[in-house]
């Protein structure tokens, strides 16, 4: 089955240490990770991935979620299947800190968070119930396994 068309914009804010994040996120890998997370009912997708510093991450989380801290990934979904349109904003310092705490390579953690954010863009939600959280985690693990990545929840 052919894959749906995916328009991807990959953006990096200016911040100290951005080179390490650019190295962990080559465009071809980001395309592969996002595309793998698109469901079978998606006919096309337009996704912007933006890597930001802690200040921008905190401001966006505060302004849009009412939470005054930088979080790892924010998903702004504008339309769901069949044509998915979304912005995924990842906070580089948070992602780097989490990867180090988990003992994971930075790219591996980014892969997980991009899959996670792409699922959110399609309506998946882990905050609605324990059953929804388990279903989303299982979906993430299956997608990552297909990409040759380990289960992030083990």
| pLDDT tens over the chain, length 154 residues | 678 899 999 999 999 999 999 999 999 999 999 999 999 999 999 999 999 999 999 999 999 999 999 999 999 999 999 999 999 999 999 999 999 999 999 999 999 999 999 999 999 999 999 999 999 999 999 999 999 999 999 9
Domain parsing of the chain, residue ranges = 6-146
CA angle 64, 102, 67 (to 5 degrees): 15
- Confirm or deny that 116 is annotated as ligand binding: yes
- Pairwise CA distance, residues 61 & 68, whole Å: 7
- Confirm or deny that 120 is annotated as ligand binding: yes
pTM listed for this prediction: 0.96
Give domain 6-146's CATH superfamily: Metalloproteases ("zincins"), catalytic domain (3.40.390.30)
Q: Omega before 28 cis (within 30°)?
A: no
């Amino acid at each position: 089955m052919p894959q749906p068309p995916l328009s991807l914009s990959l953006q990096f804010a200016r911040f100290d240490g951005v080179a390490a994040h650019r190295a962990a996120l080559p465009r071809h890998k980001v395309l592969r990770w996002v595309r793998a997370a698109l469901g079978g009912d998606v006919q096309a997708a337009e996704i912007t991935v933006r890597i930001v510093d802690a200040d921008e991450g905190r401001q966006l989380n505060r302004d849009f979620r009412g939470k005054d801290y930088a979080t790892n990934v924010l998903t702004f979904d504008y339309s769901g299947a069949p044509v998915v349109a979304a912005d995924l904003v990842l906070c580089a310092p948070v992602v780097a800190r989490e990867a180090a705490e988990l003992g994971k390579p930075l790219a591996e953690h980014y892969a997980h968070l991009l899959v996670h954010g792409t699922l959110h863009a399609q309506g998946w939600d882990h905050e609605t119930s324990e059953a929804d959280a388990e279903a989303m985690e299982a979906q993430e693990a299956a997608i990552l396994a297909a990409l040759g990545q380990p289960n992030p929840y083990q």
